Amino acid sequence: MRGRFGFFFAICLALAADSAGAQQYPAKPVTIVVPFAAGSGTDLITRLLGQQLAVALNQSVVVENKPGASGVIAATYVARAAPDGYTLLMATNSTHSANPSLFKSLPYDPVKDFAPVARAGSYVFMLVINPELPARTLPELVAYAKANPGKLTYASGNTTGIVAGETLKSKAGIDVLHVPYKSTPPALNDVLGGRVSMMFIDLAPGLEHVRAGTLRALAVTTKERSALLPDLPSLHEAGIPGYDVTSWAGLFAPAGTPNEIVARLNEEMRKIISNPDVRAKIAVTGFDAFTGPPETLAAFVQSELTNWAKLIKDAGIEPQ
């Protein structure tokens, strides 16, 4: 009896310690890992939200970039981190939707290895070309590509860029060479310099170049037009029926993170994203910010795994 009571007492102490730790959270700086390089759309959004989260938590929030392998490096790092709420991942459709279909094997499981915290919102991607190309519309680009098979190239700095490019090739029936990059900034630099013909890029890093005329935007990847670029057609309406590639971002913790910490982070994220001033700052980057409970994000991840598996299969992309 004495042994059983001692064991039971030890369990109660451990549970009490966990509860106290959750209530005191955060007692030290929180790190949000970004799976892409500084200057990418995900990096910009994470830094905007991280600044607000630091105020809400009354604790420093550090944004750490771990680019490479379409987000595999960052996702694996967070999946293996201590489940204490101090290491988080700003995941995207790269890490949690596309990678399971793009890679034959992954060192992490997007469902089992993570605790969903809060959806952050959706990106708008657009097809941009170097303005030296003799095409001002999507039909003109497709016609030029068909007249010059293998001459054009497209850059990618994330899985959305890969899948969007291969989907365009498949649906339009054109021969364009894929040039992969570790992240968006170097890919963008080579398109600007004319070393690569075009790319699919999110509005945050690309919009200023479109407005300056150093890039020419032809269409957005979503089925509907973007409110930020109302005069720019979607690929669907510009001549590629059914084209619809939508990207997203969301905050995750390692699996096993206490529910109280997940709930606290979710509550603060919901307050931040519902703030009109914050939403206005985020909107100018071309990111549609919105959120919801962790359960909604968990269900969304499951549905997006199916959606992106179909996109990748239909585009004829073979897992590596």
Q: For the domain that residue 76 is a member of, what is the CATH number?
A: 3.40.190.150
Give me the percent of the chain exceeding a pLDDT of 70.
Answer: 93
Same domain membership, residue 251 and residue 118: yes
- pLDDT higher than 90, residue 11: no
CATH assignment of the domain containing 157? 3.40.190.10
Q: Is 97 contained in some domain?
A: yes
Any idea which of 98-102, 172-176, 244-248 has the lowest mean pLDDT?
Answer: 244-248
State which residues form the domain around 147. Answer: 125-220
Mean per-residue pLDDT of the chain? 92
187 vs 17, residue with greater confidence: 187
Whether residues 140 and 207 share a domain: the answer is: yes
How many domains are there within the chain? 2
Residues 109, 55, single domain; the answer is: yes
- Tell me how far apart the alpha carbons of residues 206 and 216 are, in angstroms, rounded to a whole number: 10
pLDDT exceeds cutoff 80 at 9: no
Q: How does residue 94 score in pLDDT terms, banded at 50, 70 and 90?
A: very high
In this structure, are 250 and 116 located in the same domain?
yes
Would you say the C-alpha torsion 319, 106, 256, 117 has a positive or negative sign? negative
Same domain for 197 and 52: no
| Average pLDDT, integer, range 291-303 | 97
Query: What's the Rg (C-alpha) of the chain?
Result: 21
7 and 112: one domain? yes
Longest dimension (CA), the chain: 86
Judged by DSSP in three states, 123 sits in strand
Residue 118 shares a structural domain with residue 16: yes
Q: Are residues 134 and 108 in the same domain?
A: no
Last residue of a domain, one of 185, 220, 255: 220
Q: Is the pLDDT of residue 14 over 60?
A: no
Residue 183 is predicted with a pLDDT of 86
Q: Which carries the bigger pLDDT value, residue 255 or residue 285? A: 255
201-231 pLDDT per residue, tens? 998 889 899 999 999 999 999 888 888 788 9
Closest-CA residue to 117 (of 269, 247, 279): 269
